C-alpha cells in the first residue's frame, strides 16, 4: 500500500471523491502543513495554524496509480483560487499536494506543468506542491462525514 495526501478545500467532499475510487483502500481527513501540534478543527478555523484541511489516501498501486489520483485531484476542485474553494475561504482551504517521496514530487510537478500548458484554466494554478508534514487526524465526526449523513457529495467548485 502507498499513501497520498491532498488538500482541495473542505475535506468532506474531497474524502468522498477519493473513497469512491477503485483501489483506494482507506481515507482519513485531517490537518497538515501547519505549525501547531495536535490542532483541532477550531484551531485550524482561526486561520492562524497554517494547516490545510487534507485527505490522506491509502491506495493499492496495483489497482490505481498515483498519476490517476493526481488526475482526480485536479478534476475535482479549482486549483486557481488562492486559499479558497467555493464559499470556503481561508488558508485551510488551499489547494495542495503533499508528496511522500521523490517519485510523487516528480509526478505532481509534471502533472501541474502539463495542466498549465494545456490552458485548461484561464488563471494561473496556485496549487502548492510540498513535502508531506505531520498529519493530524481530524475529530471523529469529520471522518466519512458525508457518508454518515447519507449525502453523496458537497460543493468543491
- Is residue 92 in some structural domain? yes
Domain of 90, CATH number, reads 3.30.1060.10
User: Residue 156: what pLDDT?
Assistant: 47
What sign results for the dihedral spanned by CA atoms 126, 93, 122, 103?
A: positive
- Is residue 109 in some structural domain? yes
Residue in 7, 10, 14, 97 annotated catalytic:
10
The number of beta carbons lying within 10 Å of the beta carbon of residue 37 is 8
Encode pLDDT of 95-113 as tens digits. 999 999 999 999 999 999 9
- The number of distinct structural domains making up the chain is 1
Global confidence as pTM: 0.92
For residue 28, what are the domain limits? 2-148
Encode pLDDT of 53-95 as tens digits. 999 999 999 999 999 999 999 999 999 999 998 888 999 999 9
- Is residue 87 in some structural domain? yes
- Is residue 114 in some structural domain? yes
Cell of 67: 498519476
- Is residue 153 in some structural domain? no
Write phi, then psi, for 16 (nearest 5 degrees): -60, -40
- Is residue 154 in some structural domain? no
**Annotated catalytic, 10?**
yes
Write phi, then psi, for 32 (nearest 5 degrees): -150, 165
User: Residue 151: what pLDDT?
Assistant: 59
- Is residue 71 in some structural domain? yes
- Is residue 156 in some structural domain? no
CA dihedral 60, 53, 48, 134 (to 10 degrees): -20
Amino acid at each position: 500500500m502507498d499513501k497520498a495526501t491532498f488538500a482541495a478545500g473542505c475535506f468532506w467532499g474531497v474524502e468522498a471523491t477519493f473513497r469512491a475510487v477503485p483501489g483506494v483502500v482507506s481515507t482519513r481527513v485531517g490537518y497538515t502543513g501547519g505549525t501547531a501540534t495536535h490542532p483541532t478543527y477550531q484551531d485550524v478555523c482561526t486561520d492562524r495554524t497554517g494547516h490545510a484541511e487534507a485527505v490522506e489516501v491509502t491506495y493499492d498501486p496495483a489497482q490505481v496509480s498515483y498519476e490517476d489520483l493526481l488526475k482526480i485531484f485536479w478534476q475535482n476542485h479549482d486549483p486557481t483560487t488562492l486559499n479558497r474553494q467555493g464559499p470556503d475561504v481561508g488558508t485551510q482551504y488551499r489547494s495542495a499536494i503533499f508528496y511522500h517521496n521523490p517519485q510523487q514530487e516528480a509526478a505532481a510537478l509534471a502533472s501541474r506543468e502539463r495542466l498549465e500548458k494545456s490552458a485548461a484554466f484561464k488563471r494561473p494554478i496556485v496549487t502548492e506542491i510540498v513535502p508531506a508534514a505531520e498529519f493530524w487526524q481530524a475529530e471523529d465526526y469529520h471522518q466519512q462525514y458525508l457518508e454518515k449523513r447519507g449525502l453523496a457529495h458537497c460543493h468543491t467548485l
